[in-house]
Chains A and B, each alone.
Chain A
Amino acid sequence: MSRPATHQPRLTGRRLIIGLPWLWLGLFFALPFLFVLKLSLSESVLAQPPYLDLLREFTDGVLVLAINLGNYQLLLDDSLYLKALLSSLQIATISTLLTLLLGYPMAYAIARAPRHWRLPLMMLIILPFWTSFLIRVYAWIGILKNNGLINQLLTGLGVIDSPLEMLHTPVAVYIGIVYSYLPFMVLPLYATLIRLDLTLLEAAADLGCRPWKQFLRITLPLSLPGVLAGAMLVFIPVMGEFVIPDLLGGPDTLMLGKLMWTEFFSNKDWPLASALAAVLLVVLIIPFMLLRHYEQRNLESSP
């Protein structure tokens, strides 16, 4: 492909439009991340602020730059961090699958509901956002605890004798995450399902395809972009989730977000917390890159 040789400074409007997101990304993502990266390479001390600057001193024209890889070394050495990463990955993956399993039928039902029903149903999905996230997670404590709503109901009905242990278990964490992140799955799914051309399903039926297979061969593949968008919207924030495992999880609920909080606020180890954050970002970016690569190849595959 040949590019025009002369530079065209005229297209300012277009440049501005392309430039704005980049500027935004630079200011609020790249720059803060650089700070975090710098912090992660510094040494932790008992001081205010609790770390030593990379640029240590500047004397006699000699700049002393101290890069401390010890934090990363520590992350590798102490198996706690690897365990936390794997446990976060596990929790995020399972919760993403659970929200997908729950959210897909919901989005599908709303998209296929009579037109005048769709808006009210969508409102019901979005409505919980109108209350504070924290309050909603707190409410689950009241529902799940030993003398909480569920246990009272079950003992009252005589189904169980002693209360079920639910709060501060992994189950409670999953309930909290799935409950909180469900709308992020339903919204993009609904958006792709509502755009699906229903004559495609008629065409499939006409070609001898039964309803269940129509779903598998037509609806599902064509809604994959929505599935991917929803999965990312759930997976990425859950990886760094702190509030839910802290409030609903037990002491053995290991998640990166919780660990970061502990390192940052309890242990005052800012550099280690930053190193954790940097690792988390890399872990999250890899699948994203793979996806982009795959999509690119998909577009170019056909001659």
Chain B
Amino acid sequence: MTQTPSKPALDTAHTAYQTPSVRFEDISKSFGSTAAINNISLDIHQGEFFSLLGPSGCGKTTLLRMLAGFEAPDRGRILIDGEDMTRVPPYERPINMMFQSYALFPHMSVADNIAFGLKQAPMTRSLRNARVSEMMELVQISPLARRKPHQLSGGQRQRVALARALARHPRILLLDEPLGALDKKLREKTQFELVNIQERLGTTFIVVTHDQEEAMTMSSRIALMREGRIEQLDAPRRLYEFPASRYAASFIGSINLFEAQVLQQTGNELTLACDATGTELHAHCSEKMLPGMTLTLAVRPEKVRLLQPNEQSPNQLRGRIKDIAYLGGVSIYHAELPSGKRVQFTQSNVQALAEQPLNWEQDVVLGWQPDSCTVLTE
């Protein structure tokens, strides 16, 4: 997992007094017998870069389509800037959407596509042309103005779609897997461009993605979804460092999970017995745990350290290197414990060369600090 600098979470104390840009109130939606959205309540604030993240079929698109007005919720209300929009048709909502398939009008040139939304409202021609030029410059497609969509590359189409959705200066922009069709390199470049544009315009961006890395890079907050519900709602950093459940922990990045039984708790220091490691484990936990409870301990690979021969750690494991994945800047190692359980850890490659390099079948001692792991009850 590469941690890219993400924007700080919005100051919730500050925004709590403001009317949220978007409010979902107890929203449910079923298609036949499948419950696509199951009682979701959610506030999204003005200027946020908000991501809906989750596996395929968890209801991300459905939630977005209800906000855009293409789908009516079975129950609940949708408020935009405090106004009930649940029954307002899409063409009257102050929202624009960038479609997953881009949905560019094939019979119109790039400039006409971008001008389409502007033509639906009274506006002088010169003002409209100026806005179209401005939008094309923003996404750097000015030389393509006269082309038809079928004469564009995938990346160029995506830019046109973005420019078209932004042209009306919507207060809220919805993006359904905006970068899905792009190759990795272009996608990373565009992620930063999107964040830049969003910061420049101050528009609320709501992005659907099933790419956790993409969500981490761009978002101020992420709603992790699971089967029509929100599993966890947090800033990327908190979602990564403090996952609330095993599901959240394993969906975002890679993580080592250990099943363990509580032995005792003194203050917030927890001692556990773990079958897989055959050792006692130590963790910090402020919640009250009862002895005998079964918990899951989650440790990120980069928090697991290779111990020097004379070093001691509260959580100490012996293992043997079984797998090495070289990723350039870092390497990921898989160590097998005597019980057969595998533990992942990463080493920066500057270190790996400076000290003795690790090899397959090498015996290692690993450890981590009690405060670098998370205790999960779900």
Give chain A's interface residues, CB within 8 Å of chain B. 197, 199-200, 202-210, 213, 217-218, 221-222, 302-303
Contacts and interface: CB of A to CB of B under 8 A. Distances in A.
A302 B107 contact: no
Contacts of A205: 69-70, 89-91
B99 A222 contact: no
Given A207-B120, A208-B121, A302 B103 contact: no
Interface string B165-181: 10010000000000000
B3 interface: no
Interface stretch (B143-151, B196-204, B228-236, B254-262): B143-151
Interface in B73-117: 89-92, 95-97, 99, 101, 103-107, 109, 116-117
B226 interface: no
Nearest 9 A-B pairs (CB), nearest first? A207-B117, A208-B120, A203-B103, A205-B90, A199-B103, A205-B91, A206-B97, A208-B91, A221-B107
B164 interface: yes
Contacts of A303: 146-147
B267 to A, nearest CB: 55
Contacts of B96: 206-207
Interface of B: 68-70, 89-92, 95-97, 99, 101, 103-107, 109, 116-117, 120-121, 146-148, 151, 164-165, 168
23 contacts: A199-B99, A199-B101, A199-B103, A200-B106, A202-B68, A202-B99, A202-B103, A203-B99, A203-B104, A203-B105, A204-B105, A205-B90, A207-B91, A207-B116, A207-B120, A207-B168, A208-B91, A208-B121, A208-B168, A217-B116, A221-B107, A222-B106, A302-B146
Nearest to A210: B91
B347 to A, nearest CB: 47
Contact of B120 (A199, A202, A203, A209): A209
Main secondary structure of the interface of B (DSSP, over half): loop
A197 B91 contact: no
A209 B116 contact: yes
Nearest to B100: A199
Contacts of A203: 97, 99, 103-105
A302 B116 contact: no
B106 A207 contact: no
B144 to A, nearest CB: 9
Contact of A208 (B70, B105, B117): B117
A302 B111 CA distance: 12
A221 B96 CA distance: 23
B102 to A, nearest CB: 9
Q: Which of A199, A207, A222 is packed against the most chain B CB atoms within 10 Å?
A: A207
A207 B164 contact: yes
A197 B103 contact: yes
Contacts of A206: 68, 90-91, 95-97, 165
A222 B103 CA distance: 13
A5 to B, nearest CB: 31
B139 to A, nearest CB: 16
Contacts of A302: 109, 146-148, 151
A105 to B, nearest CB: 22
Contact of A209 (B91, B101, B107, B165): B91
B105 to A, nearest CB: 6
B105 A200 contact: yes
Contacts of B116: 204, 207, 209, 217
Contacts of A202: 68, 70, 90, 99, 103
Given A200-B103, A208-B92, A208-B120, 16 more contacts: A199-B99, A200-B105, A202-B90, A203-B104, A203-B105, A205-B89, A206-B68, A206-B90, A207-B91, A207-B96, A209-B91, A209-B116, A209-B120, A213-B120, A221-B107, A222-B106
A209 B113 CA distance: 13
Contacts of B165: 206
Nearest to A218: B105
A203 B120 CA distance: 13
A213 B91 CA distance: 11
Contacts of B120: 207-210, 213
A207 B120 CA distance: 8
Nearest to B107: A221
Contacts of B117: 207-208
A21 to B, nearest CB: 26
A263 B363 CA distance: 106
Nearest to A299: B148
Contacts of B68: 202, 206
B178 to A, nearest CB: 14
B167 to A, nearest CB: 8
Nearest to B65: A202
Nearest to B164: A207
Contacts of B103: 197, 199-200, 202-203
A209 B92 CA distance: 9
Contacts of B91: 205-210
A213 B165 CA distance: 18
A286 to B, nearest CB: 26
A207 B68 CA distance: 11
A222 B106 CA distance: 8
A295 B148 CA distance: 15
Nearest to B96: A206
Contacts of A207: 91, 96, 116-117, 120, 164, 168
A228 to B, nearest CB: 14
